[in-house]
Amino acid sequence: MSKVNDPRLKLGKAIRARRIELGMSQEELASRADIHVTYLSSVECGHRNVALLNIIEIAQSLGLLGSELFLKADI
């Protein structure tokens, strides 16, 4: 799998884009999703294989369904 098509990278970019669109800091999103900010940072960079429950928490904290986040990520 090429790095460009890596779903971890696509998901991370979609999370970051939505977070910025909402004017939210990483700290605020991490707090809302009940995850550590360094974990969120590594997710946004595509370095983590995120667990489903964390994806759902992040999506909900961004005002999205998990499926909507996947659509934004084009996964």
6-62 pLDDT, tens digit each = 999 999 999 999 999 999 999 999 999 999 999 999 999 999 999 999 999 999 999
> Domain span at residue 26?
3-73
CATH number, domain containing residue 27 = 1.10.260.40
d(CA 13, CA 6): 11
Domain count, the chain: 1
Supply 22's token pair: 């909402």
pLDDT of residue 67: 97
> Does the pLDDT of residue 1 top 80, yes or no?
no
Question: CA geometry: angle at 36 spanning 40 and 15, to 5°?
Answer: 20
Between helices 7-21 and 26-33, what is the axis angle to 10°? 110
Q: Which is more confidently placed, 12 or 5?
A: 12
pTM comes to 0.94
> Does the pLDDT of residue 4 top 80, yes or no?
no
